[in-house]
Every structure is written in C-alpha cells, then in structure tokens.
Structure 1
C-alpha cells in the first residue's frame, strides 16, 4: 500500500491543492484549513449552505494567495495573508475561538460570489482550538479550522466499491464520483475497501498517525467539486448509506492525529503498527 494523493484545503470548503509532498504540523498539513468564511455573527460558512464555494480555485505563490472562480462575473483576486489584522470571535460547530480578519477586498469578493455578507478569517496562532478530548490521546492537542481533526485518510478501493454500487443501481457511468467529493488529506492505494477502519496506528514514511474516529459524511459529498452542482438524487450519499451507515451516521474515511512531525510524500509506503 502506498500514498497516491496528498491534498491541502487552505480555505475551508474551497477547492483543494494537490501536493507531491506535504509538511506535517500538529494541527494538520501546513496551510490546510488555515482560513474560513464566517457570516456577520462570526459563524462558519461552508459548501453545506453554499455549494458554489466548490468553484473557488486557490493558488499559493510565495506570500500571496490568488482566488478565481467559474463565475465569469468575478475577476480573480490576490491577497497577502495577515496575522496582524483585527481579531474577532468565531464559531465552528460547537467550538468558539478567535480568528484574524483578512483583507476587506477578498471578503467583498466572497460576498459577491455567495450573494451574502461574509468575511474571510485566518486561524490565530495565539488561541488553541483543541481536538475533542474523547478521541485525542492527550489534552489540548490543536486542530486547524477543519471540522474536527488534523487529517482525513481514505482509500482507493473504497471509492471503487462505491462506484461499482452506483453503476449497478443506475446503470449509468455518469453517477460515479471522484475522490475529491470526500475532500481527503491523504489517499492510499489499496485493494481492500474500508480497510483503514481496522487500523489504530500506522506509519507513513517516517510519520506515525493514530486513527481515532470514522469520518461522518454530509451533503458536501453530493456536490461536484469543480462545478458546485448538487446531485438532486443525493448521490453518492444515498448509496453510501445503504452499506456504510452506523449509529453515528454515514461513514467514509478515518480521522487521524499525527504522533510526530515531518514530511510525507506521494509514493510513501504504509505500515500497520497496530
């Protein structure tokens, strides 16, 4: 088994960036979910409410970030991330933390795209957002602005099995989906679907990870991650629910916490430790 994909998502719910290698930090890959959008009350906004966020391409070059969209009425915008802007209280799920407002111009760009007032914020390094202590191996372990955990791992055989069932149900190749529907950080190439559900500790390259919780899936999986089009049949979530539904929800992939720091690369092998 080897790593076949590495992805970061600098702005929560916008498009990811594929990497050949990525740096592990305690709270996730470097730059992953470093930014998110909030409304005027400071509550986070995602593709759940605004599927058009899937159309936003994010590019990082030196110290600047450039955004572009399929929306032809919007020109691309470039901004310099800051850690010295105004700090505001924000809410992400049940967590309340402090984040740093970014350039007004980029917030206005997103306001135009979503047709609702919103603001781009950056996670503040001065405030730890902790992983749920029910799953973390120790207290006060940090996480980015991801839904709850530093890393999400999926495997290619799981997607193959899901697509087999979709084709069987609809007799239509058009209903099959790409892995980007599940927005993983790490994709591994395997021949056994959902094999990662049996793992507790693995090593990728020189980095050890603790697999702590299956990932509950939501309506974002029904959104095309290029066009923002939402499947009216609620696929692939509907079919996934026929064979991957547990008491906690519909599952695909596993959430992970890093046990040491460093760099992992596409092509790295996976060792099962426990």
Structure 2
C-alpha cells in the first residue's frame, strides 16, 4: 500500500451558530480558530452554559445565510433575525464543556428570538476573538490549536466513503439514506484508494492541499466521538427515536455495530478532528486536489 493517497475537497461546511444548521460553501478561509465564521455564535442557558441539539433538537431548524455584513437566521414560524458581523451588546461569561471563558452577549432581540423558538429562556453569545481557547494538548502535541465555540478542535474532517458505508448498513435495516449534515463536518474529502473507501480519515496523518493561495496542511489528531446528535433529522429536527425508527435501526444503533473505536476506549466515532499546520489566511475551495499521508 502506498504512503499517500490522492484526495480532493468534496464539500465545505460552516456552522455559524453552534448546533444550528450548516451553510454549504464553495470556499472557506482558514483562520486561527478554523474556518472563518464557523461556530462564532452559541446559544446558552441562564448560567451561560452552551445548549445544543442534544437537549434542543429544534436548533437543527435554525438556518443561517451569510452576507457581507451580517448573518441572517431563519426558522419555521419566525421572522428573520439579522446578526451584524461587527456588533455585540455586552460582556457575558459562557461555558463550553469544561472551558469557562468571557464572550459577548448579542442583546435582547436575539435572546427573545431564540427563546420564542426554543420555548425556554436562552441567550445568544458571540465568541470573543481576544480569547485563546486551546484544544487538548494530549492530542495536538506541539501545536497550540485555537478554537471558537467548537466542541474542542478547529476543523472536523469526514470522508464521502464513510457516509456511503453507513448508508449501505442503514439500507440493510430498511432505512433511507441519511446526509452528511447529521455529522456536522467542516471538510468532506474524497479519496482514490478503493481499499480505504470506508473511513479514509481513520488512516490519515496529514492532509495537504495545493490551493490557489498556497499550501494548506491539516493534521488529523483525534477521532470524533459521537453523541446522539447524528440521530436528529436535520430536515425536521426530530430524533430517530421519536420519528418511529425501530430500535436497532437508528443512526446511533447502526454506528454502534461497527464503529467502536479502540483509540477512545470503545467510544463510537465518525470523522476526525484536525488542526491547522499551515495555511492561515488561505482559502480552501471545493475541488482542490491534494494528498493524504497515511498514518499506518
């Protein structure tokens, strides 16, 4: 087997508001915290703790639209909410997993909009770019990888083959195919090695792309362990278990049948968390060619 595999960028995805719907883009600018505008806003409870589709699957129905000066959020039954890119309201302390950090509140209108849609009091926070929220050095080694409001790493990588393999298994259970939106990646890759079609990302050390702006190098450092969010249908905001899917045929059930990962003591994984080695302020585009350096 060769030490490298030819790859290409199959798709790129931004999630401006953590746990809300993605924006599929043709190109994405790499910044210190990952793709520009990815996970820059976050819904929090009255204690400043982040909320996600784990507790509030209806967040999947909040759909952003990116414009030059603002982000427009739309949701069923709601008027559009405009978030200016250059405006915040007042300081707000927030918590993302174990990290407590200063952020910015987006004001009463945004809070009321999300509270009305979600049916409980919440606030909308904006990441403070002055903060340095680091990924776990156990996995990143010598690299200080910064994050905004992502779960813990700046970029999540999945492969098209991984989704195809899952959908084959879902079909065997009588399930319709699901989309990559359930897994919320930033970067989806295609590879040319048929032997590594299933979860190519599991076997990769680094991804190297020759972009129009210069090289981009991403290091895949940690498997992405999965919570129940992949069970939420992004089109309806309804979890598989509430949609009448039989036990054993939910996305989580099917993943559990073949994706227990020894690297994380048997946790169910799908995708790989990545850090940026080279390429800040460069643009990655759909169709960009590159190579994956294999790690075994």
TM-score range, shorter chain: over 0.9
Is 1:128 matched with 2:128? no
Query: Which one is further off, 43-52 or 261-270?
Result: 261-270
1:245 is aligned to: 260
Report the Cα distance in structure 1 between the residues aligned to 2:143 and 2:289, rounded to whole angstroms: 30
Note the C-alpha offset of 1:220. 0.5
* Aligned residues of 1:57 and 1:67 also touching (Cα < 8 A): yes
Report the Cα distance in structure 1 between the residues aligned to 2:143 and 2:169, rounded to whole angstroms: 41
SS of structure 1 residue aligned to 2:109: helix
Report the Cα distance in structure 1 between the residues aligned to 2:250 and 2:216, rounded to whole angstroms: 35
Closer, same or farther in 2 for the Cα pair 1:89/1:139, shift >3 Å? farther
Alignment counterpart, residue 210 of structure 1, candidates 213, 219, 232: 219
Query: Which one is further off, 130-139 or 262-271?
Result: 130-139
SS of structure 2 residue aligned to 1:45: coil
Report the Cα distance in structure 1 between the residues aligned to 2:88 and 2:130, rounded to whole angstroms: 11
Note the C-alpha offset of 1:83. 5.2
1:93 is aligned to: 97
Report the Cα distance in structure 1 between the residues aligned to 2:290 and 2:257, rounded to whole angstroms: 29
- Which consecutive residues of structure 1, in runs of 5 or more, have no partner in the other structure? none
Alignment counterpart, residue 236 of structure 1, candidates 229, 247, 251: 251
Report the Cα distance in structure 2 between the residues aligned to 1:203 and 1:24, rounded to whole angstroms: 14
Note the C-alpha offset of 1:222. 0.2
2:119 is aligned to: 115
1:20 is aligned to: 26
Report the Cα distance in structure 2 between the residues aligned to 1:146 and 1:87, rounded to whole angstroms: 20
Per-residue CA distance 1:53-86 (angstroms, 9 max, x = gap): 000110121212211112x2x2222232445531
SS of structure 2 residue aligned to 1:243: coil
Q: Which runs of 4+ in 1 moved over 4 A?
A: none
Is 1:156 matched with 2:160? yes
Report the Cα distance in structure 2 between the residues aligned to 1:269 and 1:235, rounded to whole angstroms: 34
SS of structure 2 residue aligned to 1:209: strand
1:69 is aligned to: 75
- Which consecutive residues of structure 2, in runs of 5 or more, have no partner in the other structure? 1-6, 242-246
TM-score, length basis structure 1 = 0.94
2:3 is aligned to: none
Report the Cα distance in structure 1 between the residues aligned to 2:251 and 2:187, rounded to whole angstroms: 20
